[in-house]
Structure 1
Amino acid sequence: MVATDDLAALEARLRAVEDELAIRRLILSYGPAADAGLATLAASVWQEDGLYDWDANGAPHVGQAGVEAMLLTEPHQTLTKEGVGHIATPPLIELDGDEATALTYSQIIRLDAESGRFYLWRLSAVRWDLVREGGSWAVKRRTNRLLDNTAAGRELFGATLKELRGVDAR
């Protein structure tokens, strides 16, 4: 017979695994939906008032409507028509009850029509802040920062890891 404490611990572990899988699916669904032109589906992973902070110098897109509108803009539509792939790495997820934080790399691969070759166009550090709403996970905020000579991407990763792993993380 399984002790009540053992069963509760097992249930908690199973819920954590299920939460990580749900968050992984949510994060990894965005790129394929955006590239397929399914703007509503791609935007549906955000809270109604969630933020997509995609540019350190630009205003964030607000909520599902803002993300969907961005995906329907001419620049984004042109990217998808010319050949582009939004690729996220598997997320590093930290759960905290009904909230979670995840880190990924975001790679945007583009087709060079002249040569017929694909190349890495953008590489970003990404922080995902997520919340559980009504049993499902949603993006509260996604913050992208380029991994370039501005150091913004490295700083985003460093600050998040220190926050999640402790101030003395080295």
Structure 2
Amino acid sequence: MTSDTEPVPADSDTKDWTWVLERRCSECGFAAADVDGPEIAGTVRDLVPRWVSVLHRPDARVRPAPTTWSALEYGAHVRDVMRVFDTRLALMLDEDDPLFDNWDQDATALAERYDLQDPAAVADELADAAEATAARFAGVGDDQWERSGRRSNGSVFTVRTLGQYFLHDAVHHLHDVRG
């Protein structure tokens, strides 16, 4: 059930998840380093049917706990992650060692009212964003996988590790919603 009143904010995740590039995630089981750069695009495309299925569940809007996102909220977040990482990848391919804009995922969730969005529309938008991101990863040349980019907190990524890190987010949240 949804309402026009602002939802209780979800528990904020302030962990630095870059460690997933070095070891398997103990929560979701994903091993980012096992996905080589040229496999990223196909992996992104493989996740879409699972996310679409989750977003078509009758209870997609229901939070399992007051401060835990619903499947809809996670789906809207993953849609936006797809968009943000597509932008970051484009920067890395077009510029030398770009500094990424900060993105506050919690503020975005509240400002965009993830909880009030239409699950079917989010499923379509997630699929579109995933295809755009997958296509950009599919177009990465052999000589581009080690190009670098940076977050404002000092984390440095290559095109390859950006893709691996990004994949963990989409896979981990599928685990969160039992997708």
Q: TM-score, normalised by structure 1?
A: 0.29
Higher strand share: 1
Tell which structure's C-alpha radius of gyration is larger. Answer: 1
Q: TM-score, normalised by structure 2?
A: 0.28
